[in-house]
Amino acid sequence: MTDWLDWPFFEPRHRELADRLVRWCEANLAGGHADDVDAACRSLVAALGGAGFLNLCVANGGTPPDVRSLAIARSTLARASGLADFAFAMQGLGSGAISLSGSAAQKAEWLPKVASGEAIAAFALTEPETGSDAANLAMTARRDGEDWVLDGEKSYISNGTLADVLTVFARTGEGEGARGISAFIVHGNVPGLSVAERIEVIAPHPLARLKFEGVRAELLGAEGGGFKIAMQTLNLFRVTVGAAALGFAQRALDEALAFASTRKLGNLTLADNAVTQERLGEMATSVDASALLIARAAWQQDMGKADNRRAAAMAKLHATEEAQRVIDMAVQLHGGLGVTKGAKVEELYREIRALRIYEGASEVQRMVIARDLLKEHRS
Ligand code: COS
């Protein structure tokens, strides 16, 4: 089901990338992963880097990542394995601020290592007391000679237990709220940085609360420009969260089609039943609608649309919410098997949930869309 790549948003190089990724997934992911998620993520990052796919996650010279390629990579990987998608995506999100706003020296120091898989990256914005309300974060940064020193906590940090490099957002106090935040680069092994708590979630991933006690950091971009950098990074990757959700939904539909076609219902199969067909029709329509919104947002961004926040938010909102519904329908169609540990649809049911929360919850996406719409209406 790569026919969405035949739409005019995509070029032959995108279809070629999808073919390579499908072959890579078949060769590398069929055996599943180690139970230790940290070890599994490390080896996935190394394998994806070795195959050259992580080059897609970082800026190439002055050119930002191609969002359509990111979307194809995430949907293809997610369709095969949630953890493989996670390992890929976090290399991009964790280094995105460096790609978009780093100096030439910062890019040269980190982007090749992130692209080869030698350095694992993390994005540290959320705090124990600020999630959606990112402009009110409390971590402080004070100047000390050439360096900056960070104190505070970050929570729900993906790759928090593994990261070699973190992009961190802290308060430098140029103004209230969003205006007083700057971005920083922190080395994963720096003194004063520790894992305060490993956070276990319904779909296991390396996730942690991190403590920063007098941590040395390097400024990334302009002082006071951190909130904008965080938002621009999120705009870029929000489309791709939608793409991961699309991959999960496509897999749920694959599973539903396979199950319905073989499951006996009297002399017929489940797929011959009109109620099943009504469901499959609804699932397929929902999947294609998400794919269209993702393709539109990714294409606009690649064409250089200066502010793509509305389309990116729509793509993430619709694709994640709808994937949850599609997966739920697939679980229902599988009956008892759908909630049985080890069934693929049961895994998808757990995997999809966090996507409606992280990188901007659905409620935040609706707010971003409405504010952008109102701004246009009032101007
Ligand atoms: N893209 C670009 N710029 C953005 C933006 C976006 N998506 N959202 C806000 N901005 C800009 C605004 O244009 C404004 O700039 P000006 O001062 O030049 O006008 C500035 O940032 C402040 O924006 P705003 O006043 O809307 O800030 P709020 O504090 O009201 O917050 C939301 C806006 C809720 C949209 C923001 O805090 C957000 O996205 N929160 C979610 C954070 C998140 O995704 N966390 C997950 C982390 S990764 S797991």
Sign of CA dihedral 247, 360, 167, 156: negative
Same structural domain for residues 371 and 260? yes
pLDDT tens digit sequence for 77-89: 999 999 999 999 9
Same structural domain for residues 232 and 369? yes
Instruction: Kindly provide the b/e burial profile for residues 281-308, where b requires at least 16 CB atoms within 10 angstroms of the residue's own CB.
Output: eebbebbeebbbbbbbbbbbbbeeeeeb
Of 224, 252, 280, which residue is a domain's last? 224
Hey, whose CA ends up nearest to atom 21 of ligand 1?
228
Of 62, 97, 116, which residue is a domain's last? 116
Residue identified by tokens 């539903």 is: 256
Of 66, 91, 116, which residue is a domain's last? 116
In this model, does residue 130 exceed pLDDT 90?
yes
pLDDT tens digit sequence for 24-53: 999 999 877 778 999 999 999 999 999 999
Question: Domain count of the chain?
Answer: 3
CA 275 to mean position of chain CA atoms: 34
Sign of CA dihedral 95, 112, 38, 27: positive
The span from the CA of 117 to the CA of 52, in Å, is 9
Q: Which of 156, 228, 353, 357 to mutate to test the pocket of ligand 1 (most atoms within 8 A of CB)?
A: 228
Q: Could you tell me the two tokens for 140?
A: 């402080």
How far, in Å, from the CA of 369 to the mean position of ligand 1? Answer: 11
The span from the CA of 244 to the CA of 185, in Å, is 27
Q: Could you tell me the two tokens for 161?
A: 């237990």
List phi, psi (to 5°) of 319. -65, -40
DSSP per position, 190-228: -TTEEEEEE---SS---EEEEEEEEEEEEEESSTT-HHH
Hey, whose CA ends up nearest to atom 46 of ligand 1?
359
Same structural domain for residues 99 and 170? no
**Do the beta carbons of residue 56 and residue 14 sit within 8 Å?**
no
Residues 6+ apart with CB under 8 A from 176: none
Same structural domain for residues 263 and 322? yes
Structure confidence at residue 30 (pLDDT) = 83
Structure confidence at residue 2 (pLDDT) = 60
The span from the CA of 361 to the CA of 197, in Å, is 23
Entry pTM: 0.95
Same structural domain for residues 105 and 210? no
Residues 6+ apart with CB under 8 A from 202: 350, 353, 354
Structure confidence at residue 61 (pLDDT) = 82
pLDDT tens digit sequence for 265-288: 999 999 999 999 999 999 999 999
Same structural domain for residues 173 and 280? no
- Residues assigned a catalytic role: 359
Same structural domain for residues 200 and 239? no
How far, in Å, from the CA of 375 to the mean position of ligand 1? Answer: 14
Same structural domain for residues 167 and 232? no
